[in-house]
Structure 1
Amino acid sequence: MPYIFLNYRTQSDAYAAALLDELLIRRFGADAIFRASRSIRPGVDYRQAILSAIKESRVILAVVGQGWDAVIREEDRRGEAGNSWARMELAEAIRDGTVIIPILLAGAPSLVKMDLPDDLRGLAHYQYLRFDYRNISQDFFRISEELVHLLSTWNIAVGNESGP
């Protein structure tokens, strides 16, 4: 069962999600992390797999790169909001009350409530963490320590204690 779900936009933030996934796997083990492109087996209905993983996960890490909010607004303007899995995953997690930690990549500003659509506005109030290519080790250490703390509050044993 995955405890940590990686949410990211494939068009812009997949590289950071893949790196974060690799580091998280070293720290917590592959079974504890869900990243769609790695976790869903061929021939499986990805829609069901994603929705199921969101329901099972305790924490959603929302990878937010530069221009993330502008892309969301553009989807709204074009009427494409319903086609964005990254957005649907977050909206579902918000409805379910799942813990969401925005992970801001290099250059990404804090989320602003008025820049987000109604179903995602709450994200602007969620405490975020940074994951910057200039500080990968320190930023990942902070992310992993916060995850260890959160998971331990649910009495979930975590994987490799030695870290990456």
Structure 2
Amino acid sequence: MSGIFVNYRSDDDDFAAALVDDHLRAVFGDRNVFKDTRSLEAGTDFPPELWRRLLSSRVLLVLIGRRWLTPDAGGLRRIDRADDYVRQEIEAALQAGLRIIPVLLNNAPLPAADELPASLRGLVTRQFVRLRQRHSGMDLSHLVEALSSSVPPLRAPATGGVPPQVPGHVEFHEGGVWAQGATINGDVVSRDKYVQGGTS
């Protein structure tokens, strides 16, 4: 069982899918998080394995950015195509009764029911969470809290000390900044360094 299945468009706020995948794997473990480009080995028969992993999951995360409904080169919205994997995965999850959490990226809105194919309109009644790039640490913590009722974390969150290392993750704490490979107020902070007195 994958536990958490990440549904996303690769060209829609492309920071998000990798960030979510990395962070959730650190909390829930590799086997409990499915992201197709990482989780499927070369040579895997893609469609049957994709559906097997989806239907063995407990939660579908639907990452929605500003370009989620953008038309393709032919002028047709991808979500209107019957062969669109993003659409097919959501349809399958709705039909299977999986828990579905829309994750709205930055300032992207939740689509209205009349913007979606009829088979996807159940998505708009699901409670969403938001993931903002500038506040990713706080928003990812909220996402983990929401998911923990369905998928148990590998271990209980630490109550103090240095937070777990997640690539590209920046976390702000009272009295300092925990940063990995980040630029804070114009000063480059070296990887794995805890900086006292930092600001957000």
Provide the TM-score with structure 1 as the length reference: 0.88
Cross-structure match for 1:55: 55
* Aligned mates of 2:67, 2:114 — CA distance in 1: 15
Task: Determine which structure has the larger helix proportion and give its number.
Answer: 1
Structure 2: unaligned runs, 5 residues or longer:
159-163, 165-200
Task: Determine which structure has the larger strand proportion and give its number.
Answer: 2
How many aligned residue pairs are there?
Answer: 156
| Relative contact order, higher structure (CA 8 A, sep 6+) | 1
| CA-based RMSD | 1.8
Check the 8 A contact 2:69/2:78 in 1, yes or no: no
Cross-structure match for 1:162: 157
Where in structure 2 are the equivalents of 1:1-150 lying within 5 Å?
1-71=1-71, 74-75=77-78, 81-150=81-150
Provide the TM-score with structure 2 as the length reference: 0.73
Identity %: 32
| 1:82 counterpart SS class | coil
Check the 8 A contact 1:26/1:160 in 2, yes or no: no
What is the deviation of 1:110? 2.0
| 1:50 counterpart SS class | helix
Q: Deviations over 1:79-116 (max 9, x none)?
A: xx122111110111011111100000012012211111
Q: Which has the larger radius of gyration?
A: 2
In structure 2, relative to structure 1, the CA distance for the partners of 1:158 and 1:42 (3 Å cut) is same
Check the 8 A contact 1:90/1:120 in 2, yes or no: yes
